[in-house]
Structure 1
Amino acid sequence: IQLFTGLEHQNGTAGKDGGGDHARANASFLTGVRPYKTAGADIKLGVSVDQVAAKAIGDQTRFSSLELSCDGVRKSGVCDSGYSCAYQFNLSWRSDTTPMTPESNPRLVFERLFGSGSKEERSKSFQMRQAQQRSILDFILDDATALEKSLGNNDRMKLDEYLTGVREIEQRIQKAERFGLPADPGQPAPDGIPESYEEHIRLMMDMMVLAFETDSTRVATFLLAHDGSNRSFKEIGVPDGHHSISHHQKKAENLDKLAKIDLYYSRQFAYFLERLNEKKDADGKSILHNSMIVWGGGLSDPDRHNHSNLPIVLAGHAGGGRFDNGRHVDLGTNTPVSNLYLSMLDNMGVKQETFGDATGRMKTI
């Protein structure tokens, strides 16, 4: 792994927008873009780095990308100081107006990836699902064509945006038909969302490992908890809400509790890396060796809502031992996280002139 200090997201800061640091932290984390402040339907952000990669290499796998969460799923409503909940509960954005809604139920993730039941049952359900989805899409497109004639310009623009999403679903159906029956995962589906938060996290991580192992996708995002979450951690002796104690006021008791929570999450991340290291890729190397994994968050000192010197870890070798791992990299100050993302895209063979608020590329990672 590599641990970075000196990375920042200036577009997460207040600027002229005032309150809403949690929404901005979450929204800017993978986009490097300042979210448009609104609680309405006119959300606007930018394409996230995972979706840039997915657009470039997603045609090589059954699923272009996978979006997971251990939190709630929200795309509307007011969540933080006048910002839409869409910003706070979605890491991945397909376009500047379209978040990629994550799935929080491990069973549904499993069934989406592999289907359910025996091989024969999975084959039958796969064919039925394809036919049903095509039938629904045909109905929607026919209905939209008839509706379009009676719409004004503004409503027609909204309909066009909606139909873009529908056509992308159609492309996914066509891709599924091209790849045929999903791979056999060699294990049963999870029962659903477990009561234990740790078990939930690890099940979702297992789903990512399975997705990579079967080459179902090569791009994934995982939101452990939305920025500003007030989850308690009684299982490690922290009954207080995470957000409440994050405004620590430098009190030793609060700082000790935050350290326990950080250690708890670090252990989950270590579990994920260990699982990836155990699994072999097609070239005989571990999946971890052939991967790039970013772990971090959009705030450093939550007591001050600080968006500089962010806690960012990069794991994996991107294949071929390209990274200079096992070190701490001090970048000084004012280095956009987008610079790291731009360099990661380079290592994936995805050539971008710029990304987010990048000012350049990392000299070495």
Structure 2
Amino acid sequence: MFDNHGSRRNESILDRVRDDAVSLSHRVSSADRAKIEEYLSSVREVEKRAASMRAARDKAAARAKDNGKTIAMMKRPDDGLPEDIREHMRLMCDIVALGFQTDKSRVATLLLNRDLSGLFYPFLDVQSTHHSASHRDKSDEYERISRYYCSQYAYLASKLDAMPEGDGTVLDHSCLLFISSMWSGNAHDSSKVPVLLTGGLSGELETGRVLDYIDKGDENRKLCSLYLSLMDRMDVKLDHFGDAENQLADL
């Protein structure tokens, strides 16, 4: 699923490893065999969903070529993305979770939306687009949108927490960071931003806390200081990153 090279690049990853999976199943206990089957079934399910969206994307590319347009200039669903974003976002979270579970990658960036988005959310009973709703950031509509995105973050965290790994779960050995580029869309205020960290990073991060840096002074509450701290805990040693030379205190 994550190897994009070779003559079998468009073939199911499960078909590529079928013989190895069968051989392994014959050598492990019945309990481990059940775990392998459960895992392979979850991969197959994600593969099917991804294949469906890939087919829609290929059709969109053909339409764009015929009409002399670029896909980026086309609206959903003509651009190959589903009009209902819920399944698409859930699939993206599932792919990230599988990448972590298989140790194919320990670093992933997932942008579910952008600042100037014109997305609508009829399933949330929201009439405004995302961007216009953000300019009324104390409205019920914007709260419903924000809760929806937080629920996607919680879904990914729950997926990782349900995956056993070593002496804990994949989430225990990972760190998720959820962040907004604005504190207030109405005021265009980015002088402070909310940040969520989830996962213990193999014991490197203490969870279950709320840290407030509002009164610490600008030099002591830089986002880049947070990034320096996280990289240090992942054994990436840097003297500075961005505009920060010191790690974030008390993290």
User: TM above 0.5, one fold?
Assistant: yes
Aligned ranges 1:127-142 → 2 under 5 Å: none
Q: Which position in structure 1 is the counterpart of 2:112? A: 224
Q: Which position in structure 2 is the counterpart of 1:202? A: 90
Q: Percent identity?
A: 31
TM-score (norm 1): 0.49
Cα pair distance change 1:231/1:318, threshold 3 Å: same
Cα pair distance change 1:230/1:118, threshold 3 Å: closer
Q: Which position in structure 1 is the counterpart of 2:36? A: none
Cα distance in 2 between the residues matched to 1:110 and 1:216: 7
Which of 172, 180, 187 pairs up with 2:44? 187
Shift of 1:199: 1.2
Aligned residue identity for 2:146: D
Cα distance in 1 between the residues matched to 2:14 and 2:125: 47
Aligned residue identity for 2:212: D
Cα pair distance change 1:271/1:120, threshold 3 Å: closer
Residue deviations 1:309-336, cap 9 Å, x none? 20110111010x2222112111124211
Cα distance in 1 between the residues matched to 2:139 and 2:14: 54
Q: Which position in structure 1 is the counterpart of 2:158? A: 274
Cα distance in 2 between the residues matched to 1:195 and 1:122: 32
Shift of 1:245: 2.1
Q: Which position in structure 1 is the counterpart of 2:143? A: 259
Residue deviations 1:235-262, cap 9 Å, x none? 11002111112222x7xxx611111111
Aligned residue identity for 2:242: G
Which of 16, 26, 30 pairs up with 1:122? 16
CA RMSD of aligned residues (A): 2.6
Which of 286, 301, 316 pairs up with 2:169? 286
Cα pair distance change 1:338/1:120, threshold 3 Å: closer
Aligned ranges 1:27-42 → 2 under 5 Å: none
Q: Which position in structure 1 is the counterpart of 2:99? A: 211
Size of the aligned set, in residue pairs, is 192
Q: Which position in structure 1 is the counterpart of 2:207? A: 325
Cα distance in 2 between the residues matched to 1:343 and 1:353: 11
Aligned residue identity for 1:187: R
Task: Pick the structure with more helix per residue.
Answer: 2
TM-score (norm 2): 0.69
Cα pair distance change 1:226/1:118, threshold 3 Å: closer
Q: Which position in structure 2 is the counterpart of 1:346? A: 232
Matched, 1:316 2:199: yes
Shift of 1:348: 0.2
Shift of 1:122: 3.5
Cα pair distance change 1:350/1:111, threshold 3 Å: closer
Task: Pick the structure with more strand per residue.
Answer: 1
Matched, 1:299 2:182: yes
Cα pair distance change 1:118/1:243, threshold 3 Å: closer
Cα distance in 2 between the residues matched to 1:329 and 1:119: 43
Shift of 1:187: 1.4
> Which sections of structure 1, spanning at least 5 residues, go unmatched?
1-108, 124-182
Shift of 1:291: 0.5
Shift of 1:115: 4.5
Residue deviations 1:188-218, cap 9 Å, x none? 4122154421111110000001111111111
Cα pair distance change 1:186/1:263, threshold 3 Å: closer
Residue deviations 1:106-153, cap 9 Å, x none? xxx767499444569637xxxxxxxxxxxxxxxxxxxxxxxxxxxxxx
Secondary structure in 2 matching 1:345: helix
Deviates more, 1:300-309 or 1:190-199: 190-199
Secondary structure in 1 matching 2:213: strand
Aligned residue identity for 2:209: R
Shift of 1:303: 1.1
Secondary structure in 1 matching 2:212: strand
Shift of 1:355: 0.3
Matched, 1:240 2:128: yes
Contact conserved, 1:201 with 1:224, CA < 8 A, in 2? yes
